[in-house]
Structure 1
Amino acid sequence: MNARRLTSLLAVAAAGSALAGAPSPAAAAPKAKSCPSQKGTIVKDGAGRVFHRGTRLYACTTVYGHAPKSRYMGPWSSNTKVSFDGVNLAWTVRTTAAGKKTDRVWAGSADTGKRWMLGQKPNPGGADLAAREDTVARIVANDRGIAWVTKGGSVVGALQDPAEDKVAPIGSFATPPSVLQEKLVLVGSWPGATTQLASSLRLVETGGDGDECGGVNTYELTVRPEAAGEPVGVRWDGYWTSTNCD
């Protein structure tokens, strides 16, 4: 669960508790300290921050009122791109393969320190191994989902725990997007449109079903290959669970 969704759930719970005359979870939970300032901070959110020490990436969050704790997440490079929603993060690490500069994609939780994507090649739908090597122009994280655009114009999405092995297309496609390697979907490839794709990349949660301990969220990943064109993308359901429930 991301920090914004947690805030909404606590607000709903607080309203219900007030009507019942009971203290709300927000009132009952101890107020957490903020994650301390760190040299090498890359990004910070109301619930936490991401920073590096040398070539090691760390993250801290105070979600669920947890005491701040810095957790080692994985490698970092000077070309690393990071997206952080206050709890969940996705990042890239620059490397070299077959004499070519390329990126690897990582993702995990600052709350647990657990990673669910470890060094994924950026273009899972490449026709051969060489075609799968590329660098990432932009990456975004939202709750248990991530998405990125490669410099070659590929648009890719991933869920930590997909609820099904198929996606619903948004917009018109010559070849409908399909799930690859269980967690990944190649939305499409538009060579030459990288800047437009990166600026229009959106990954949002449009609804879901569950309670404070877990459930299913619906994600929509879209881009606009042409500035004046209609968005295209996929709709995909994914499970989530809270680390604050027994």
Structure 2
Amino acid sequence: MTNSTSKSASINSTVGTRSRVVILASGNGSNAQAIIDACQSNKVSADIIKVISNIPSAYVLTRAANAGIDALCIDHKRYPNRESFDLVLAKELDSLQADVIVLAGFMRILSEGFVNQFTGKLLNIHPSLLPKYPGLNTHQRALDANDEEHGTSVHFVTPELDGGPVILQAKVPIFESDSADDLAQRVQSQEHEIYPIVVNWLCSKRAILKSDGAYLDGKKLPECGYASE
């Protein structure tokens, strides 16, 4: 994370009421764990009311159980298409009255109708310095391009894949000897730092989505988010 984030990016919240957060994840869930830890230590003013996965064997479900959080699998393979899966997922989120929906390695492309239903509540983290490298294999793509830096972006979710307004980024250097795995580990350590910060910003209503982009504390954020330089 850039040095200039240290003061204004404070994770502490001044909001008295706790938001209702649902985490969607498909795999190991290390980002989910970072957010769980931040909520349970009151660094984020929120309660995680459920963790939902589309993969029955996803370890994130075990993480939730270990933390005493309700966990649910909605297996996407049981549904004939994306829209039918999204309808069931949306119904569940509606019943939970989620204030914030956090995608933490949720390996599903969400339908436009689903995204529009929860506009402004959906957060995602992507392992690149968006708008660079949307999609998959971002670490290898950064290496192949001989980039000198790489990183991660937390952004609002919109119907455009990895195209929603960026709220906060963290940058890491790329070294000559790096493999994609080396870079992935370096990026992931930053993800665990910045994702809880942005979740807290959204829960405390410091960060909001408007028609013309992302705002923090009433000020419109630039394309690369807060403290992008």
Query: Is the pair's TM-score, using the shorter chain for normalization, greater than 0.5?
Result: no
Which of these two proteins has the greater Rg computed from alpha carbons? 1
TM-score after normalising by structure 1? 0.31
Bigger relative CO (Cα 8 Å, ≥ 6 apart): 2
TM-score after normalising by structure 2? 0.33
Higher strand share: 1
